[in-house]
Amino acid sequence: MTIKQNVARGKAVTEYIELGESICRDEGHEPGAFWTAVAVGAADRAGIAREVDFLPKKTTRKRTRLNDDSTLPFGKHGGERLGDVPDDYWRWFLSQDWCDSWPDLVEYANVLVEN
């Protein structure tokens, strides 16, 4: 890979990070929410989500009422509409120790799984 290609790739990554942080900030998430979402997604894909100990236990995140058109901010289905995420994923999500860090998603998932 050439230096020019590396520079272009670095700029794309920087833009992605800035966009992710901006979206999290605009939605009222605490500082670091983007990186938490990245870490959760990486742990999920590596199959070690239960062993991740650096996730926040309490949040100061602004609660929002989610609906089917809201977007999942992390994980295997990150970026997808909540209404398109399979029920099995929601059951898995609710079984995770760290799910309480996402109270708005817990509320959404509980309603979905109960129905």
Question: pLDDT, tens digit, for every residue of 60-102?
Answer: 555 668 899 999 988 889 899 999 999 999 999 999 888 888 8
Nearest to 99 by CA among 29, 30, 35, 40: 40
Write the burial class of residue 38 (CB in 10 Å: 0-12 exposed, 13-18 middle, 19+ buried). middle
pLDDT tens for 12-37 read 666 766 766 766 666 776 667 766 67
The whole domain housing 31 covers 3-114
Total number of domains in the chain: 1
> How many C-alpha atoms does 39 have within 13 Å on its Cβ side?
13
Angstrom CA distances, 20 to 23, 34, 78, 110, stand at: 5, 6, 12, 26
Instruction: State the virtual CA torsion across 33, 34, 36, 37 in degrees, nearest 10.
Output: 120
